[in-house]
Structure 1
Amino acid sequence: MSIFNQKSKFKVKTEVRKVKQAVAPAPPKKSGGCGGGSSNGALSRPSLSAPSSAHGTPRASPIPSSLTAAAAAARRLNNSSHSPESKVGSSSSTGTASRKRRAPPSRRSPATASPAPVLSDSEPASDDDDDWAETLDRSKRRKRAHTEDPSRRLRHPKLWPGQGEEEKARIVHAVDVAGLADKCQPVMGLGRDEVAVRLRYPGAKYYERYELVWGKDKIDGAVDIMKVVELVASTYLTGSEAKPFLDKNDGICRRLEKSKNTQDGKGFKAALFEYNEQLLALQKSGAISKNISALRGIPQELVEFILDQVYDRTVAPKVDLLAKYENGTDNVYGELLHPFITNIFDRTKLSSGMVFVDLGSGVGNVTLQAALERGCESWGCEMMENACNLAEEQKKEFAARCRMWGIAPGKVYLERGDFRKSERTLAALKRADVVLVNNQAFTAQLNDHLVNMFLDLKIGCKIVSLKTFVHDTKNAANDVATSILDVEDLTYPEGYVSWTNAAGAFCISTRK
């Protein structure tokens, strides 16, 4: 007989829990200075649009059986019209890249989009240009890490020092998922034989291949490139080193933006060529290696962008696989988005010397975010086969991308199977400092099993969940969870999960 069907010997006074607003409202949506920028679940409202990634690729949005047919239809309509990357809760806790992270630039077809303003050196700048230039002001330009960890060393052990050859990391190039071969169309007045370009990254000698094309729900190559250039200059370079890139009048970022706005493909390619050459010179001089070695944290914008790059090249092209789940079971997929996860990391004080475990990790988004953002040992366990397969693809691409960006993440472990039976996962739980479980759609039986597992957690371990494990009934004093957990009930604002734009509740429990 389960221990939950027996009369407990525990006589612990039921605690009174206060509800607090835990997360600041999501920041207003805006694009980055040089271009477009840029993880779990509940019931949705049909009138709300689904979240999207930084580049507009669609996120998974399987609808739980508890949603009405009308809500499901409305969500599919929203997904198709806004090209979002949305997902809805797996036995997994987390979700993918931002999942409602930062608002992506809309991907409108050049044929249907409203004409971009034509700018020239002789024309006065618009108000929007003034705003853009202000973001590049040297006094405000330097990107700072959301949190800094004195114990963390960010320099990747295989960072190219600027001399000698290096082994090429196998990445999924942008052109592999968004190119002429995928029925995309050339942009900025370029011919089909002129769209191929290459992009250099700070941690590697080799390039990523792009094509300057547009396609519905595809990576926007020009926007992606502009964001990389801006992030490299603002994160990896000192003020004087970054000036040729970020000068508000004639810097490389400004020229890329102007060329895109004026549909000047040749001008865009010329500015990109100059960026590649100048970054190579900085790599050879040792400036990049020196600057990365001095970092103790990663700007949140860069964290989200790297995770989005990984997701857009691995999960987004196969996102329909995540819609295959079993109704009425614990196997429903959904994601907590980047800002929500960062807030969780802040509140639990997750750092590089800790162990993080995501029970029901889906495609691995949160597991990867913990490793990148905080540098900690990061574990995930998932039992849905399609999600596991995509998680493995993400892990491989994640390792290669981190190397290209010159950043060393924490160790990542992704386990397949039932987290109640996975020996490696159960062993990691005994060492865990922070545990995440998106139990929004879990059955009562599974939540009871989890409480039993929590008996093995070390004192002080933080458990983050969408639903409390403490039963709010007159018999709560006899509840096992009450006897081992101190619970804080919290709320999150709109736009922090993949299955709805609505605000919701979550809690952080501490093992007594």
Structure 2
Amino acid sequence: MDNTKVTATTSIKRRLSKSNDLTTATPEKRLREDNKNNNKKPSATTATTTTTTTKATVNARPKMITSDRIVRASHSKYRPYFIAENSENTHDSRASPVGDPNLQSILEYPGDSENFLLLRPVLKNTTTNNSNSNSSDNNDRRQHQNHKSLQAVDDIEDKDEYNPITDLIRSAYFIYDCYLTPEQQDLLGDESQGIMRNLTKHRNRRNANGFIEAVNDFNRIIRDLKAKGELSKNAKAMRHPSYDLACHILYQVYSRTVAPQADALNNYQAFSNNVYGEINPILVKQFITKTKLNSHSVFMDMGCGIGNVVLQVAAQTGCEAYGIEIMEVPCKCAKRQLKEYAARMKAWRLPTGKIHFRHGDFLDVGSSDMYETLKRTDVLLVNNYAFDWETNHSLAQLFLDLNEGTKIISLKSFVPKSHKINQRTFHMPESILRVEEFEYFSEAVSWTNNGGTYYIATVDRSRLKPFYEGMYKSSQR
């Protein structure tokens, strides 16, 4: 396993990484962290930790943090992308932009609209390394590098930062793909002709006027469909977002709430139960499928960190979802995400699900009202990859109160392979758990690029029946 350490700041920047090629960068990849920190996200350590029962719920009238707002907050990281109208290099995608730093556009969503500054993130203090080779290939390369060095250093795009232009175009394509019938899509054309073609064509050519005109044409069609009630009807028929759309919305939420606070997530004790790490969206998708989570389910993430898993599960299924987190900073991030999530889902005309985040120790859940929620939970997630034996043992004691059929997802099994039900072990929580082992593949978790295994334990007290029957027969002899 790769034990390379990467800070939370680096992992969050990588989470925002995206390609300019719309066909190669998936929404799941934009949310995925490449953090190789071989540890676990923050969670409870001991039952003596003070519990704060602050609760965050979905705001009834939320308001989005708009794209232009977060770009303005980090304006020094951004430069114009589109070429000025009088530039001689309008059709040269490699030309250095000299456009308007305040160029902006509005995108119409199914239930709201958002303002975007049409800028791109750039690298700072970038240097060009010239080769000492005398080969013709290297000479050509040096000439090209020297040509680039005449441009502003800031002209090199930072693919790890939030890109508002990419966000705008992807949002437009998700509206096109997910909210429109084939007949309605014809009004916008497709990738080879019409308005949708103009969006990508003028973006690639860095033609400011053409791009803004294409966005305005797109908005005109969407506003007309909204006025007729068509988008509302289509959204209602969709019920819940697809995996890709959910990832895109959660990426929007993350980039506007957690990414600007990345440095604060580095404040944890190394090699403790509170080390920060995340389960990536592709693995959460597997969890949903394997446990058959649906809109009638109750889900709980014990040690939810910044709340990504809770939000994804709620978005994709519409279930009742809870997260409890002992560390204050990640829990605050989770609550900020929840507020933005509610606003975003409203803009996309999608149901939020019933979501709660709690700041506290999950080992002390028995002393709070979360205990009643725990007892009616259908699916429980415990990312116990880096937990010590004592914490795992204390957690297992809580499972004795779970309902029959409750499923517990974990990164380490709570039941040793050598465990057998006998007179010494029949009272232990391990004896009521039927465990299945599953494989996950590369980039499914933030602490390694390698694959691994996870476990789903089902509460099954019928496993004790043969033991009790044996005891009864022995007593009758």
- Give the TM-score normalised by structure 2: 0.73
The correspondence of residues 238-257 of structure 1 with structure 2, limited to 5 A, is 238-257=181-200
Match of 1:38 among 27, 33, 37: 27
Aligned position for 1:415: 358
The superposition leaves residues 29-58 of structure 1 with CA deviations (integer Å, 9 ceiling, x where unpaired) of 99886785419xxxxxxxxxxxx635x9xx
Aligned residues: 375
Aligned position for 2:118: 211
Percent of pairs with identical residues: 34
Indicate if the aligned counterparts of 1:226 and 1:253 stay in contact, CA closer than 8 A.
no
Alpha-carbon shift at residue 389 of structure 1 (Å): 1.1
Alpha-carbon shift at residue 421 of structure 1 (Å): 1.6
Indicate if the aligned counterparts of 2:116 and 2:164 stay in contact, CA closer than 8 A.
no
1:170 corresponds to 2:63: yes
Q: C-alpha separation between the residues in 1 aligned to 2:314 and 2:253?
A: 14
Match of 1:438 among 356, 366, 383: 383
Aligned position for 2:55: none
The superposition leaves residues 399-428 of structure 1 with CA deviations (integer Å, 9 ceiling, x where unpaired) of 000000000121000000101223132221
Indicate if the aligned counterparts of 1:34 and 1:257 stay in contact, CA closer than 8 A.
no
Structure 1 counterpart SS, 2:187: helix
> Is the alpha carbon distance of 1:357 and 1:396 closer, same or farther for their aligned partners in structure 2, counting shifts above 3 Å?
same
Q: C-alpha separation between the residues in 1 aligned to 2:188 and 2:446?
A: 35
- Greater Rg by CA: 2
Structure 2 counterpart SS, 1:245: coil
Gaps of 5+ in 1: 1-28, 40-51, 67-87, 93-155, 159-166
> Is the alpha carbon distance of 1:456 and 1:474 closer, same or farther for their aligned partners in structure 2, counting shifts above 3 Å?
closer
Q: C-alpha separation between the residues in 2 aligned to 1:503 and 1:196?
A: 42
Structure 2 counterpart SS, 1:53: helix
Aligned position for 2:232: 289
Indicate if the aligned counterparts of 1:420 and 1:426 stay in contact, CA closer than 8 A.
no
Structure 2 counterpart SS, 1:172: coil
> Is the alpha carbon distance of 1:364 and 1:466 closer, same or farther for their aligned partners in structure 2, counting shifts above 3 Å?
same
Aligned position for 1:469: 414
Structure 1 counterpart SS, 2:401: coil
Q: C-alpha separation between the residues in 1 aligned to 2:312 and 2:340?
A: 13
Q: C-alpha separation between the residues in 2 aligned to 1:370 and 1:274?
A: 35
The superposition leaves residues 197-247 of structure 1 with CA deviations (integer Å, 9 ceiling, x where unpaired) of 11111112x433433333333221121111111110111111010123242
Task: Give 2:381's aligned amino acid.
Answer: L
> Is the alpha carbon distance of 1:471 and 1:31 closer, same or farther for their aligned partners in structure 2, counting shifts above 3 Å?
farther
1:260 corresponds to 2:196: no
Match of 2:402 among 434, 457, 461: 457
Q: C-alpha separation between the residues in 2 aligned to 1:357 and 1:31?
A: 36
Indicate if the aligned counterparts of 2:314 and 2:321 stay in contact, CA closer than 8 A.
yes
Q: C-alpha separation between the residues in 1 aligned to 2:166 and 2:23?
A: 8
Aligned position for 2:429: 481
Match of 2:82 among 169, 188, 195: 188
Q: C-alpha separation between the residues in 2 aligned to 1:459 and 1:474?
A: 20
Indicate if the aligned counterparts of 1:348 and 1:462 stay in contact, CA closer than 8 A.
yes
The superposition leaves residues 304-346 of structure 1 with CA deviations (integer Å, 9 ceiling, x where unpaired) of 1001110111111211211211134211111111110011110
Match of 1:356 among 299, 304, 309: 299
Aligned position for 1:502: 450
Indicate if the aligned counterparts of 2:36 and 2:446 stay in contact, CA closer than 8 A.
no
Q: C-alpha separation between the residues in 1 aligned to 2:109 and 2:315?
A: 17
> Is the alpha carbon distance of 1:197 and 1:36 closer, same or farther for their aligned partners in structure 2, counting shifts above 3 Å?
farther
The correspondence of residues 368-447 of structure 1 with structure 2, limited to 5 A, is 368-422=311-365, 423-447=368-392
> Is the alpha carbon distance of 1:193 and 1:433 closer, same or farther for their aligned partners in structure 2, counting shifts above 3 Å?
same
Indicate if the aligned counterparts of 1:197 and 1:212 stay in contact, CA closer than 8 A.
no
1:227 corresponds to 2:184: no
Indicate if the aligned counterparts of 2:439 and 2:452 stay in contact, CA closer than 8 A.
yes
Q: C-alpha separation between the residues in 1 aligned to 2:452 and 2:24?
A: 32
Task: Give 2:83's aligned amino acid.
Answer: G
Structure 2 counterpart SS, 1:231: helix
Q: C-alpha separation between the residues in 2 aligned to 1:37 and 1:60?
A: 15
- Give the TM-score normalised by structure 1: 0.68
Alignment RMSD (CA, Å): 2.7
Task: Give 1:503's aligned amino acid.
Answer: G
Decide which structure has greater helix share.
Answer: 2
